[in-house]
A and B are shown apart, each in its own frame.
Chain A
Amino acid sequence: MAHASSLTRARRRSAWIFLAPMLVILVAVAGWPLLRTFYFGFTDANLSDLSSYSFIGTENFYAVYDGEAFGLLTDPEWWQAVWNTLFFSVISVSLETALGMVVALVLNQNFRGRGLVRAAVLIPWAIPTIVSARMWNWMLHDQFGIINDMLMKLGILSAPIAWTASPDWAMSAVILVDVWKTTPFMALLILAALQMLPGDCYEAARVDGIHPVRVFFKVTLPLIKPAVMVAVIFRALDALRVFDVIYVLTPNNPQTTTMSVYARQQLVDFQEVGYGSAASTLLFVVIAFCIMAYIMIGRVRLDEGGH
Chain B
Amino acid sequence: MKNSKIRKILRKAAFWLLVAVIVLFAVFPFYYAILTSFETGSALFDVNYLPETFSLANYVSVFKGQPFGHNIFNSVFVSFLVVALSLLLGVTASYALARVRFTGRGLLLLTILSVSMFPQVAVLSGMFELIRGVGLYNNMFGLAISYMMLTLPFTVWVLTAFMRELPRELEEAAVMDGASPWIVIRRVFLPVMWPAMVTTGLLAFIAAWNEFLFALTFTLTDDKRTVPVAIALISGASQHEMPWGNIMAASVIVTLPLIVLVLVFQRRIVSGLTAGAVKG
B93 located at the interface, meaning its Cβ lies under 8 Å from any Cβ of chain A in the complex: yes
A residues in contact with B93, CB < 8 Å: 18-19, 21-23
Known: A18-B92, A248-B232, A264-B121. Contact between A26 and B274, CB under 8 A? no
Q: Mark A11-42, 1 if CB is under 8 A from B, else 0.
A: 11011101101110110111111111100100
Main secondary structure of the interface of A (DSSP, over half): helix
B66 located at the interface, meaning its Cβ lies under 8 Å from any Cβ of chain A in the complex: no
Please, how many residues of chain B have a CB less than 8 angstroms from a CB on the other chain?
A: 97
Within 8 A of B (CB), among A93-127: 102-103, 106, 109, 111, 117-127
Q: When the two chains form their complex, are residues B120 and A122 in contact, meaning their CB atoms are under 8 A apart? A: no
Q: When the two chains form their complex, are residues B127 and A117 in contact, meaning their CB atoms are under 8 A apart? A: no
B263 located at the interface, meaning its Cβ lies under 8 Å from any Cβ of chain A in the complex: yes
The minimal Cβ–Cβ distance linking B18 to chain A, given in whole angstroms, is 6
B53 located at the interface, meaning its Cβ lies under 8 Å from any Cβ of chain A in the complex: no
A268, B152: Cα distance in complex, Å: 26
A307, B204: Cα distance in complex, Å: 28
A192 located at the interface, meaning its Cβ lies under 8 Å from any Cβ of chain B in the complex: yes
**Among A103, A128, A273, which residue has the most Cβ atoms of chain B within 10 A?**
A128
Q: When the two chains form their complex, are residues B231 and A237 in contact, meaning their CB atoms are under 8 A apart? A: no
- Specify the chain A residue showing the minimal Cβ separation from B22: A103
Q: When the two chains form their complex, are residues A32 and B259 in contact, meaning their CB atoms are under 8 A apart? A: no
A200 located at the interface, meaning its Cβ lies under 8 Å from any Cβ of chain B in the complex: no
A277 located at the interface, meaning its Cβ lies under 8 Å from any Cβ of chain B in the complex: yes
State which of B18, B125, B229, B280 has its C-beta within 8 Å of the C-beta of A277. B125
Q: Mark B1-33, 1 if CB is under 8 A from A, else 0.
A: 000000000000001001100110111011011
Q: When the two chains form their complex, are residues B44 and A185 in contact, meaning their CB atoms are under 8 A apart? A: no
- Specify the chain A residue showing the minimal Cβ separation from B36: A138
Q: Mark A295-307, 1 if CB is under 8 A from B, else 0.
A: 0000011111111
A residues in contact with B127, CB < 8 Å: 29, 33
State which of B132, B232, B266, B278 has its C-beta within 8 Å of the C-beta of A227. B278
The minimal Cβ–Cβ distance linking A83 to chain B, given in whole angstroms, is 17
A69 located at the interface, meaning its Cβ lies under 8 Å from any Cβ of chain B in the complex: no
Q: Mark B243-280, 1 if CB is under 8 A from A, else 0.
A: 01001100100110011011100100110011001111
- Specify the chain B residue showing the minimal Cβ separation from A300: B280
State which of A14, A15, A132, A263 has its C-beta within 8 Å of the C-beta of B121. A263
Within 8 A of B (CB), among A225-248: 226-227, 230-231, 234, 237, 240-241, 243-244, 247-248
Known: A40-B126, A300-B280. Contact between A25 and B148, CB under 8 A? yes
Please, how many residues of chain A have a CB less than 8 angstroms from a CB on the other chain?
A: 103
A124, B23: Cα distance in complex, Å: 11
Q: When the two chains form their complex, are residues A109 and B15 in contact, meaning their CB atoms are under 8 A apart? A: yes
A301, B279: Cα distance in complex, Å: 8
Q: When the two chains form their complex, are residues B123 and A127 in contact, meaning their CB atoms are under 8 A apart? A: no
Within 8 A of B (CB), among A153-182: 180
Q: Mark B169-193, 1 if CB is under 8 A from A, else 0.
A: 0000001000011100100000000
A127, B97: Cα distance in complex, Å: 33
State which of A102, A226, A248, A280 has its C-beta within 8 Å of the C-beta of B124. A280
A189, B32: Cα distance in complex, Å: 28
A135 located at the interface, meaning its Cβ lies under 8 Å from any Cβ of chain B in the complex: yes
B residues in contact with A305, CB < 8 Å: 106
A191, B44: Cα distance in complex, Å: 39
The minimal Cβ–Cβ distance linking B86 to chain A, given in whole angstroms, is 9
B residues in contact with A301, CB < 8 Å: 280
Nearest 5 pairs between A and B by C-beta? A33-B126, A36-B126, A241-B119, A15-B96, A22-B93
A-side residues, CB < 8 A to B, are 7, 11-12, 14-16, 18-19, 21-23, 25-26, 28-37, 40, 45, 47, 50, 102-103, 106, 109, 111, 117-136, 138-139, 141, 143-146, 149, 180, 184-185, 188-189, 191-193, 226-227, 230-231, 234, 237, 240-241, 243-244, 247-248, 259-260, 263-264, 267-268, 273, 276-277, 280-281, 283-284, 287, 291, 300-307
Given contacts A12-B100, A106-B18, A280-B121, 15 further A-B contacts (CB under 8 A): A18-B185, A28-B145, A30-B149, A30-B153, A33-B125, A50-B129, A120-B26, A126-B258, A126-B259, A129-B228, A134-B251, A138-B247, A267-B125, A283-B122, A302-B279
